[in-house]
Amino acid sequence: MLNFQKYQGGTTSLASLGSVKENAGKGGKIAFVRNNYNNPDKRVAVVITRANGDSAVVACSSQVSDALRNKQMNIEQLANLQIIENEEGISFIAMPATGAIQEFAVDALTAQPTPVSATFLPEELVAF
C-alpha cells in the first residue's frame, strides 16, 4: 500500500545571495571571459565588478551556460538571475526555481497501451 503524504519538495539548503545586478550595485559591471565563454566543456563564468573596483567571479549553472551560448538568454535576463549558495559555500548563477514540478490532472489523461517486445532477452538466456 502506498503511504500518501503532502509533497514538500527537496530538502537541499540553498541560500539566495541576491541577483547579479544587485551584487554589482550602482555603477557596477558584469563581463564574460572570452576563452571560458567559448569553451562548451566549461560553465560560463561571469565577472561581477562593483563601482569601487572589487570583483568576484561567479560560475553559471549548466542551464544558464547553455542558454547564454545558444542565445536563448540575453545580458538583461542574466542580470536579473539569482546567485545561489549551496551547502558547501559554492556560489553559482541559477535559473529561476519556478516550474520545478509539472503537474497533470489524471482525469484528463487517456490510458495508452505500452508497446512491449518479447525479444528483449538474448537467445542464449532462453531455454529451448
* Residues 19/83, Cβ–Cβ less than 8 Å: yes
Q: Give the model confidence (pLDDT) of 25-68 as tens digits.
A: 999 999 999 999 999 999 999 999 999 999 999 999 999 999 99
Q: Give the model confidence (pLDDT) of 77-124 as tens digits.
A: 999 999 999 888 899 999 886 655 566 677 777 777 767 666 655 666
Name which of 64, 70, 66 is nearest 20 in CA terms: 64
Q: What is the pLDDT of residue 12?
A: 62
Q: Give the model confidence (pLDDT) of 45-54 as tens digits.
A: 999 999 999 9
CA–CA distance, 95 with 92 (Å, rounded to integer): 10
127 vs 75, residue with greater confidence = 75
Length of the chain: 128
CA–CA distance, 63 with 77 (Å, rounded to integer): 13
Where do we find the cell 538466456?
Answer: 125
